[in-house]
Amino acid sequence: FAHPYSSWERGTNKNTNGLIRRFLPKGTDFNTITTEELKRIENNLNNRPRKVLGFKTPNEMRNQEINKISNTQA
């Protein structure tokens, strides 16, 4: 969610919502969506390069941050 009065965060939020809507259009009955399908969608979105992340994927950025933390604790 975007923070109040932080309009620069809304673009990424709206873009992500649009990407999700490609898989789950409005009117989708969420009772029919399987856990496997949700995992497939999640995997697809987390491995998609994003301009806002310098064309890295969310998974790459997460791993980069985990490595930073691990290296400072060692």
pLDDT at 20: 94
Question: Residue 50 pairs with which residues in a beta bridge?
Answer: 56
Q: What is the pLDDT of residues 32-45, one digit of tens each?
A: 999 999 999 999 99
This prediction's pTM: 0.74
At residue 26, φ and ψ (nearest 5 deg) are: -55, 140
Residues 6+ apart with CB under 8 A from 57: 46, 47, 48, 49, 50
Q: Where are the domains of the chain?
A: 7-73
